[in-house]
């Protein structure tokens, strides 16, 4: 860190909430596709500054829950309150504009574009100049681009991916692609970051790196994080509170140690003889 | 040169004195660069002096005293390099430590050096040191460069580098004489203080702390900087471990003396890209780096279109024929010059550019033997690659090749002001300006390494050739004698054999015997390829190794080696008389090689005793059963009748240069 370039701090916006205040509240939410009930009457909250894990066996409704939070699905019942404002039908881009960013279970990057451009694309919503200004690439648009590039470089530095800055992401190994995807989400400087299985398919070392990054994002940028993860070890290590879903129902909610000893949770994971 | 030394008109005798001088004479020239946030940041010599001064004043206020050791741990970062000079300006002694050493090794070095201060790069190093804090009771203050992840750490004895600098600035602002006192302190030095303690990497036993004196270090660096005509216009990329003598010498010491610009890579993974961006004029890399570069070039050419491939092959041929001659200014026919010029525009220039070698004036390699083909490849592209031989105890240079007088098989004549002699047992001993003052806290080891008359024993065996160039042939303890009295250096012979792509491994025998004999392992890929091209069918490694055609090929290789050996008066007596091709590959799983792929000689002698006897008793073949371990861990017995063949020994009187063709 020999910053001669003005070091730009990346951080979540100050929204008047104090750490520990409820940031997002999910109340009696139900979601069904035709006759299939994906989520049944679930309530939980996410507090500012915490790392909140959503766990559960396959098909428990975890990803659906994330999709509901970020406005991709609209629940038939229930209310979601984000920063005190209840919302009914919200589009994903509105969620993004209000400070919610996410990554996907299957990497969803622009494979032909470089790492740098992919992360830069995460700043689209923060750009003030329209498309035509940017095509002209003069004056204000140019300055704006430089300003955004600085933030992107900060993220590249943060995630230690300088060596692949100019590499098309399609050529990168999976673990690095996941990191780039996290970078793109961070470029939005989100208040709430939703991570859908950030460590799926990674080896131990990559998992450790990713855990470190998630913890650093949380502590240094002050970003609240909700993550879905299968690796129990990781979840128990890094999250502050865990909510457990099974067949669309909530069967547990609390600090990792408490959840670990919850009989319903043990049954759901290990199976139970009927 | 301007007066800065202890006596008016004297030359600088310490690195901080050079800092003050450079900040004056090259005030606005670049001294240090690092790529940060995607942009190259530059500090001029004047700015670098200010950074170092701020840090030094801060350190002084924290109580760093004269003669005290201060550890420096991390990768190549400007602030860590500044910590060297800041410590030296207070006559404290910097002790760089390998950043990748495990906690116990680090604890040993830090404790042994008795450091109270440590300047470290990041959280990783802080964690490492704190985990062994009980083993280093003397260490109290840790200063870090990168604050990331350290926010919630207890700060009583943990300091941010920039906070210390800030403290230094406050002191300078409050006390007007602080700066001039600091400069006066630097100027007052006569260069007799210890300028650094470099710990050897410790491949054999515990690492030892090599103490280097300021004036001696400066003198050594001045000598070699002059030898290679280094000036403030030169650029280097500092990418080798900070704690290694090579980095400290080539980048820090020569950098201060010549006033050149040192660049630090963005991260260890970006070195290749940064090399291309900076285009250094001076470059050092061990042979395996050059090998890796060549391989990557060749692999990429495999994927090129056939037209490009043809161009590449054709002009590589041209380069091979004329490149080195042109580089060395030897006569070349006009047609050759024209072809080479075209090749330079089409192939060599772009290739040098891709490798980041466009502006290289001087490149060095050292550390192990480099294959002659590999060495010639880079030279034929117009890169002035040379070899040197050095040691931590010499503050690097013992020998170095002169421009225009370069050969792949020697390490060159003695470097400027270095004296070399060969002891009776073949060991190379030297006296040099940069010679170390002793091992820190280990009088006994110092006595073991220095002769009573003040020469340093290298532990390497070497010979001088007719032109006065030194050849390192082996570790001194491995060199033996034949019953004929001829000098026998196993590694020297084995290396010569291994430079043939068809030979993967060679093991020479001969100490206390009548003649030299070798075991060979063929390289399955290379020989297999050759067999395929020549329609020779084989079913297994064992079958391939036993084929008469393969024996013929090996005989030719050995005859070639014998011709080379015959051309060297010292080595001519130890030519290879008999050999065999082993029926199985030497393998670490069977204990025949170490995990770092080095031959375990004594183990082999036991395991293949009957074969060794066959080499010496004149029998044409020998039946042997050997136990081997398969990759899945099962064991099996491999039976073979191994043929023993004779090679042609060259008469020593034939030792004309032509005979070596």
pLDDT value, residue A105: 79
- Give the closest residue to B462 by CA, choosing from B489, B443, B439: B489
pLDDT at B297: 87
Cβ distance of A5 and B41 shorter than 8 Å: yes
Report the alpha-carbon angle B275-B280-B281, nearest 5.
Answer: 155
Among B36, B37, B265, the strongest candidate for a mutation testing the A interface, having the largest count of A CBs within 10 A, is: B37
The pLDDT tens digits of the residues spanning A215-263 come to 989 988 889 999 998 888 888 899 999 999 888 888 889 999 888 888 8
Please tell me the least confidently modeled range out of A125-129, A138-142, B184-188, B324-328. Answer: A125-129
Nearest chain B residue (CA) to A166: B273
Q: How far is CA A233 from the centre of its chain?
A: 19
Among candidates B34, B267, B270 on the partner chain, residue whose Cβ is nearest the Cβ of A2: B34
The mean pLDDT value of chain B amounts to 90
Helix axes B78-89, B45-62, angle to 10 degrees: 60
Query: CA of B160: which chain A residue's CA is closest?
Result: A1
Ramachandran angles phi, psi of B594, nearest 5°: -80, 170
DSSP codes, B141-175: EEEES--TT-TTS--SSEEEHHHHHHHHHHHHHH-
Question: Is A90 in a helix, a strand, or coil?
Answer: coil
In DSSP terms, which residues pair with A80 in a beta bridge?
A: A26, A87
The band of A8, judged by pLDDT with boundaries at 50, 70 and 90, is: low
Q: What's residue B4's pLDDT?
A: 46
- Is B269 within 8 Å of A163 when comparing Cβ atoms? yes
- For residue B661, is pLDDT > 50? no
Do the Cβ atoms of A5 and B77 come within 8 Å? no
CATH number attached to the domain at A21-99+190-274: 3.40.50.300
List, in sequence order, every residue forming a beta bridge with B36; answer none if it has no partner. B39
User: Is pLDDT above 90 for B370?
Assistant: no
Spatial separation of the C-alpha atoms in residues A236 and B542, rounded to whole Å = 54
Q: DSSP character for A114?
A: B
Distant-in-sequence, close-in-space partners of B22: CB < 8 Å, separation ≥ 6: B31, B45, B49, B232, B256, B259
Amino acid B625: pLDDT: 87
Other C-beta atoms within 10 Å of A149: how many? Answer: 18
DSSP B269-331: GGHHHHHHHH--SEEE--HHHHHHHHHHHHHHHHTS-HHHHHHHHHHHHHIIIIIHHHHTT--
Mutate to test the interface with B, among A3, A4, A171 (most CBs of B within 10 A): A4
Segment B425-446 shows an average pLDDT of 91
Residue % of chain B over a pLDDT of 70: 96
Q: How many CB atoms lie within 10 A of CB B332?
A: 17
Cα radius of gyration rounded to whole Å, chain A: 19
> Does residue B660 carry a pLDDT above 50?
no
* pLDDT value of residue B2: 44
Cβ atoms of residues B48 and B31 within 8 Å: yes
Tokens of B84: 């060297």
Residue B595: count other Cβ atoms within 10 Å of its Cβ: 7
Cβ neighbour number for residue B430 with a 10 Å cutoff: 24
The H helix count followed by the E strand count for chain B is 24, 27
- Give me the pLDDT at residue B593, please: 81
Bridge partner list, B622? B642
Please report which residue ranges of B155-234 form alpha helices under DSSP H: 161-174, 178-187, 214-227
Where do the CATH 3.40.50.300 domains begin and end in chain A? Answer: 21-99+190-274
Interface confidence, given as ipTM, is: 0.75
Q: What is the pLDDT of residue A273?
A: 65
Per-chain mean pLDDT for chain A: 85
CB contact (8 A) between residue A219 and residue B152: yes
Label residue B132 by pLDDT band (50, 70, 90).
Answer: very high
- The answer, yes or no, to whether residue B652 has pLDDT greater than 80, is no
Contacts of A162 in chain B (CB under 8 A): 35, 38, 266-267, 269-270
Rounded to whole angstroms, the Cα distance separating B531 from B513 reads 35
| Nearest residue of A to residue B152, measured between CA atoms | A219
Q: What pLDDT does B105 receive? A: 87
How big is the A-B interface in CB pairs under 8 Å? 52
The three-point CA angle B36-B42-B48 to 5° equals 115
pLDDT digits (tens, 9 = 90+) for B630-647: 777 788 888 888 999 998
| Structural domains of chain B, ranges and CATH numbers in brackets | 15-217+233-272 (3.40.50.12780), 479-660 (3.30.300.30)
User: Which two three-digit tokens encode residue B86?
Assistant: 């800041």
Determine whether the interchain pair B151/A150 forms a contact, defined as Cβ–Cβ distance below 8 Å: no
Alpha-carbon span B597 to B586, nearest angstrom: 9
Structure confidence at residue A3 as a pLDDT band (50, 70, 90): very low
Cβ contact A157–B273 (<8 Å): no
Tokens of A250: 């909530």
Instruction: Bin B656: left if φ > 0, else alpha if -120 < ψ < 50, else beta.
Output: beta
Token readout for A204 is 């131990």
Do residues B263 and B237 lie in contact, with contact meaning Cβ atoms separated by under 8 Å?
yes
Identify which of B255, B227, B250, B225 has the alpha carbon closest to the alpha carbon of residue B239: B250
Query: What is the rounded CA–CA span in Å between residue B502 and residue B530?
Result: 9
Of the candidate ranges B334-338, B448-452, B635-639, the one whose mean pLDDT is the lowest: B635-639
Tell me how close the Cα of A115 comes to any Cα of chain B, in angstroms: 13
Mean pLDDT calculated for residue range B96-107: 90
Residue with tokens 């063709």: B661
Of A6-10, B20-24, B289-293, B480-484, the one with minimum mean pLDDT is A6-10
Q: So what's the pLDDT on residue B501?
A: 83
Q: How does pLDDT run across B231-278, given as a tens digit for each residue?
A: 999 999 999 999 999 999 999 999 999 999 999 999 988 998 999 999
Q: What's the mean pLDDT in A109-119?
A: 93
CA distances from A63 to A52, A95, A186, A194 (A): 14, 16, 20, 10
For chain A, which residues lie within 8 Å of any Cβ of chain B, measuring from their own Cβ?
A: 1-5, 149-150, 153-154, 156-158, 160, 162-163, 165, 212, 216, 219-220
Composition of chain B by helix, strand, coil, percent to 5: 45, 20, 35
Residue A192 backbone phi and psi in degrees, to 5? -125, 125
Q: Provide the total of helices (H) and of strands (E) in chain A, helices listed first.
A: 10, 10
Q: Following DSSP, what letter does each residue of B189-243 receive, concatenated?
A: --S-SEEEEEE---SSSS--EEEEEHHHHHHHHHHHHHHTT--TT-EEE--S-TT
Q: Which tokens belong to A163?
A: 């060596």
């Amino acid at each position: 860190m020999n910053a001669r370039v003005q070091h730009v701090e990346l951080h979540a916006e100050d929204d008047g909430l104090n750490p520990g205040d409820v940031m997002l509240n999910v109340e009696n939410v139900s979601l069904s596709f035709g006759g299939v009930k994906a989520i049944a009457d679930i309530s939980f909250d996410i507090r500012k500054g915490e790392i909140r894990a959503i766990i559960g066996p396959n098909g428990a409704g975890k990803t659906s829950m994330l999709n509901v939070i970020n406005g991709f699905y609209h629940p038939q019942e229930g209310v979601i309150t984000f920063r005190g404002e209840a919302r009914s039908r919200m589009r994903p881009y509105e969620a993004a504009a209000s400070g919610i960013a996410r990554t996907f279970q299957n990497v969803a990057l622009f494979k032909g574009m470089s790492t740098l451009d992919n992360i830069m694309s995460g700043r689209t919503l923060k750009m003030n100049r329209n498309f035509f200004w940017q095509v002209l690439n003069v004056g204000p648009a140019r300055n704006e681009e430089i300003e955004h590039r600085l933030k992107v470089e900060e993220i590249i530095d943060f995630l230690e991916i300088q060596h692949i800055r100019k590499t098309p992401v399609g050529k990168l190994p999976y673990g690095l692609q996941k990191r780039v995807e996290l970078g793109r989400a961070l470029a939005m400087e989100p208040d709430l970051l939703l991570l859908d299985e950030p460590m799926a398919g990674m080896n131990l070392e990559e998992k450790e790196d990713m855990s470190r990054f998630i913890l650093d994002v949380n502590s240094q940028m002050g970003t609240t994080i909700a993550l879905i993860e299968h690796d129990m070890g990781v979840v128990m290590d890094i999250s502050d509170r865990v909510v457990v879903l099974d067949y669309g129902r909530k069967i547990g909610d609390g600090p990792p140690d408490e959840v670990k000893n919850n009989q319903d949770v043990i049954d759901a994971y290990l199976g139970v003889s009927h | 040169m301007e007066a800065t030394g202890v006596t008016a008109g004297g030359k600088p005798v310490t690195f901080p004195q050079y800092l003050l001088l450079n900040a004056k004479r090259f005030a606005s020239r670049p001294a240090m660069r690092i790529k940060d946030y995607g942009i190259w940041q530059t500090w001029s010599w004047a700015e670098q002096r200010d950074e170092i001064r701020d840090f030094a004043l801060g350190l002084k206020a924290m109580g760093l005293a004269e003669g005290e050791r201060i550890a420096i741990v991390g990768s190549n970062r400007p602030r860590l390099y500044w910590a060297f000079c800041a410590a030296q300006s207070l006559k404290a002694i910097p002790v760089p430590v390998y950043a990748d050493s495990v906690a116990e090794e680090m604890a040993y070095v830090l404790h042994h050096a008795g450091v109270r201060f440590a300047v470290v790069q990041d959280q990783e190093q802080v964690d490492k040191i704190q985990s062994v804090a009980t083993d280093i009771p003397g260490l109290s203050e840790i200063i870090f460069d990168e604050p990331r992840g350290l926010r919630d750490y207890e700060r009583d004895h943990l300091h941010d580098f920039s906070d210390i600098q800030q403290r230094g600035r406050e002191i300078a602002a409050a006390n007007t004489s602080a700066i001039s006192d600091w400069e006066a302190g630097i100027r007052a030095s006569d260069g007799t203080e210890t300028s650094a303690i470099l710990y050897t990497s410790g491949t054999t036993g515990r690492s030892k702390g090599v103490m280097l004196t300021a004036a001696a270090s400066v003198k050594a660096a001045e000598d070699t900087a002059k030898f290679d005509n280094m000036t403030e216009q030169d650029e280097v990329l500092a990418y080798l471990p900070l704690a290694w003598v090579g980095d400290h010498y080539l980048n820090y010491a020569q950098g201060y003396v010549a006033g050149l610009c040192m660049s630090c890579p963005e991260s260890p993974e970006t070195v290749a890209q940064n090399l291309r961006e900076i285009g250094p004029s001076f470059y050092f890399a061990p042979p395996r780096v050059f090998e890796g570069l060549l391989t990557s070039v060749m692999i990429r050419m495999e994927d090129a279109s056939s037209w490009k491939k043809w161009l590449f092959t054709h002009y590589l041929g041209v380069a091979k024929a004329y490149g080195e001659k042109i580089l060395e200014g030897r006569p070349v026919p006009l047609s050759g010059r024209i072809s080479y010029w075209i090749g330079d525009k089409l192939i060599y220039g772009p290739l040098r550019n891709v490798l980041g070698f466009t502006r290289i004036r001087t490149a060095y390699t050292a550390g192990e033997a480099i294959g002659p083909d590999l060495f010639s490849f880079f030279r034929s592209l117009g890169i002035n690659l040379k070899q040197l031989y050095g040691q931590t105890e010499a503050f690097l240079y013992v020998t170095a090749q002169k421009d225009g007088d370069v050969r792949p098989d020697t390490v060159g004549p003695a470097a400027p002001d270095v004296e070399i002699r060969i002891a009776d047992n073949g060991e190379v001993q030297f006296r040099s300006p940069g010679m170390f003052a002793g091992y820190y806290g280990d009088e006994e080891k110092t006595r073991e390494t220095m002769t009573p008359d003040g020469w340093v024993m290298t532990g390497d065996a070497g010979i001088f050739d007719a032109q006065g160039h030194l050849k390192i042939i082996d570790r001194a303890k491995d060199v033996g004698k034949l019953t004929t009295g001829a000098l026998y250096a196993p590694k020297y012979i084995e290396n010569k054999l291994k430079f043939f792509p068809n030979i993967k491994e060679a093991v020479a025998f001969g100490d206390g015997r009548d003649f030299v004999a070798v075991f060979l392992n063929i390289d399955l890929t290379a020989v297999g390829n050759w067999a395929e091209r020549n329609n020779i069918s084989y079913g297994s490694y064992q079958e391939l190794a036993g084929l008469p055609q393969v024996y013929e090929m090996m005989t030719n290789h050995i005859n070639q080696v014998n011709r080379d050996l015959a051309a060297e008066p010292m080595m001519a007596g130890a030519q290879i008389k008999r050999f065999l091709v082993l029926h199985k590959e030497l393998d670490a799983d069977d204990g025949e090689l170490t995990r770092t792929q080095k031959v375990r000689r004594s183990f082999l002698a036991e395991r293949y005793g009957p074969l060794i006897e066959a080499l010496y008793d004149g029998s044409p073949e020998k039946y042997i059963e050997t136990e081997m371990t398969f990759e899945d861990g099962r064991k099996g017995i491999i039976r073979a009748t191994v043929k023993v063949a004779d090679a042609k020994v060259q008469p020593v009187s034939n030792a004309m240069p032509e005979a070596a063709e």
